[in-house]
A and B are shown apart, each in its own frame.
Chain A
Amino acid sequence: MTSYIYPKFGYRRSQEQAEGIVKRHPIVVIGAGPIGLTAALDCAARGQPVVVLDDNDTVSIGSRAVCYAKRPLEIWDRLGCAAPMVERGVSWNVGKVFFQDQLSYQFDLLPEADHQWPAMINLQQYHLEEMLVAQCRANPLIELRWKHRLISLKQAADYATLAVETPDGIFTMEAQWVIACDGANSDVRKMVGAEFTGQFFQDRFLIADVAMKADFPTERWFWFDPPFHPGQSVLLHRQADNIWRIDFQLGWEANPEEEKRPERVIPRIRAMLGEDTEFVLEWVSIYQFACRRIDNFRQGRVLFAGDAAHQVSPFGARGANTGVQDIDNLAWKLAMVLRGEASEALLDSYHEERAYAADDNILNSTRATDFITPKTKPSRYFRDAVLELARHHGFARPLVNSGRLSTPTPYVTSALNTPDHDAVPGGMRPGTNAADAPIAVDGKPAWFLHCLGDGFTVVAFGNVSDKIEIAVGPFAAKLILVGRDIEDPKGLLAQRYGASPGTTYLFRPDQYVAARWSGFDEAKITEAMLRASGHDIADRTELAA
């Protein structure tokens, strides 16, 4: 059994505070949690210097976010830090659902073969943050400022003024853009006066990290109404270092202060694990959850991401996973605006696309919550009926909802997409994140996502051009020909993209499909590139001329 030692990152007085100079930074990130740190890495990866402010000087206390899905791993891989996470974390595929004392059904997330990253890993948030901090520290474009608490934010037309408190007093900073990643209770959100509305659930959950050597398999186990915790639900998840995460549903009447006491928690865990299992209680928290989102992800010069922008129930691992994808969507747009390649209108598409995803997450999360915590007696009867029937009959199993695990939401309605005109088969519609596939480069095995560039990328099947890039206005898209630059030895790339000779895809810098065609046409590609960077029709005509 291990006990995690929390690192202290150490406060340093900044030069600008020491000298009393008001400096204007291109990007200031508020909050050094998983989302803020990812924001710093992604902005820096796109060439932008970033300052991160955090009011603390260590990582998250307790495991908090636990499950990280394939898409965030792909994003962190783009930022150079997925491999250690997967190595340190626990990969799992099987989920079991129990009703009372019997197995009701089990699912297997086993991903399609031939993908680089697992469907899901479990890793304590503090380990993840420590890895992200190390990655940030190795990047000269990123400055992490600990013990820096934002106390006020005022906006002008083209910048924001921040009053920041440190152990050395209060000083003033300016930022062209602020990325607010300061969590569900975001102070920044209050400072800009944004609305944050939705549904609160009348239920409380006890979450505990327990260190133990147990022979439970590495699976997600979810109990409805188990004998050791009657009438409520329980979730068990394995993390790294023999730490297990247990969530007990307590109901609305529970007294949070009372329930947090070890003398209340330990008997609950003992009832679950049996008298003979030795364990140490590492961390306990009580929470009540809500499904809410901010009215607009962009508030002038302040861009909200992660829990500061949206809050969901934990069933489905949609919190941190969604927040990382907010940053994936935002960083390239912000970099384009800062470089003058796109107008601020592109940032409005950040709200459009990520609010759409947040609403999808909230819908899924609310549905799971309604299943786990039935609101009325008749709905409890339906819920129990599903669980009883699922034990015996396949038809009821898809109705069991202990949380639908996070997958990316395609931006199907986004204005940045060029709608399909040609009949390209397959599901890689504009607005979908690029599917990975094993390929070969110079005869050596490689992954398709690694070939996509930092900017736009055009991928065409067959020998359709002798160019290596397609340029328009400020943009030059890398042109990759399947057959010339990369090989598709297993045919999986063509299969996943519904490709035949001539099929052409345009990918955005965040690896989402912007457009696709059955044939290669440069004029169409450049038009789609300008549309995907938020240029309106007049702009597009001028830039294409």
Chain B
Amino acid sequence: MMLNLSPNIADPDDFYAELINSQRDLDEEQALRMNARLILLLANHIGDRKVLTEAIGCARRGGG
């Protein structure tokens, strides 16, 4: 499997709002800590090591 870089979220605006709203009442440190937990939860769900490596590389390159 390859890292899916095509639109894959059914309701993008709703998802984005949920993500931002979930951190609205957190300070910066709390939000960064939450992000770390979120990354680990999602990474485990994906599981596929190749996909994770691609995603880490893609993010590290600034998303390109």
Chain A residues within 8 Å of B, Cβ to Cβ? 377-378, 381-382, 384-386, 388-389, 395-396, 399
Q: Which of A377, A382, A384, A385 has the most CB of B within 10 A?
A: A385
Is B56's CB within 8 Å of the partner chain A? Answer: no
Of B5-13, B17-25, B31-39, the one contacting chain A is: B31-39
- Are B40 and A386 neighbours in the complex by a CB distance under 8 Å? yes
- Are A385 and B44 neighbours in the complex by a CB distance under 8 Å? no
- Report the Cα distance A396→B33, complex, angstroms: 15
- Are A381 and B33 neighbours in the complex by a CB distance under 8 Å? yes
A399 nearest in chain B by CB position = B40
Chain A residues with CB under 8 A of B35: 381
Is B41's CB within 8 Å of the partner chain A? Answer: yes
Query: CB-defined interface of B32-64 with A at 8 Å, one 1/0 digit per residue?
Result: 110111011100100000000000000000000
Chain B residues within 8 Å of A, Cβ to Cβ? 32-33, 35-37, 39-41, 44
What is the CB-to-nearest-CB distance from A537 to chain B, in angstroms, rounded to a whole number?
39
- Report the Cα distance A295→B33, complex, angstroms: 41
Chain B residues with CB under 8 A of A381: 32-33, 35-36
What is the CB-to-nearest-CB distance from A191 to chain B, in angstroms, rounded to a whole number?
45
- Report the Cα distance A386→B41, complex, angstroms: 10
Q: List 6 A-B contacts (CB under 8 A).
A: A381-B32, A385-B37, A386-B40, A389-B41, A396-B44, A399-B40
The DSSP consensus for interface residues of chain A is: helix
- Are B37 and A378 neighbours in the complex by a CB distance under 8 Å? no
- Report the Cα distance A378→B59, complex, angstroms: 15
- Are A396 and B32 neighbours in the complex by a CB distance under 8 Å? no
- Report the Cα distance A399→B39, complex, angstroms: 13
| 7 additional A-B residue pairs with CB within 8 Å, beyond A382-B40, A395-B44, A396-B40 | A378-B32, A385-B37, A385-B39, A385-B40, A389-B40, A396-B44, A399-B40
Chain B residues with CB under 8 A of A388: 37
Chain A residues with CB under 8 A of B33: 381, 384-385
B32 nearest in chain A by CB position = A381
What is the CB-to-nearest-CB distance from B29 to chain A, in angstroms, rounded to a whole number?
8
What is the CB-to-nearest-CB distance from B39 to chain A, in angstroms, rounded to a whole number?
8
- Report the Cα distance A381→B26, complex, angstroms: 15
- Report the Cα distance A395→B35, complex, angstroms: 17
Chain A residues with CB under 8 A of B39: 382, 385
Chain A residues with CB under 8 A of B40: 382, 385-386, 389, 396, 399
B44 nearest in chain A by CB position = A395
- Report the Cα distance A377→B36, complex, angstroms: 11
What is the CB-to-nearest-CB distance from B13 to chain A, in angstroms, rounded to a whole number?
27
What is the CB-to-nearest-CB distance from A48 to chain B, in angstroms, rounded to a whole number?
48
- Report the Cα distance A469→B32, complex, angstroms: 67
Chain B residues with CB under 8 A of A399: 40
4 closest pairs, A vs B, by CB? A385-B36, A381-B36, A385-B37, A395-B44
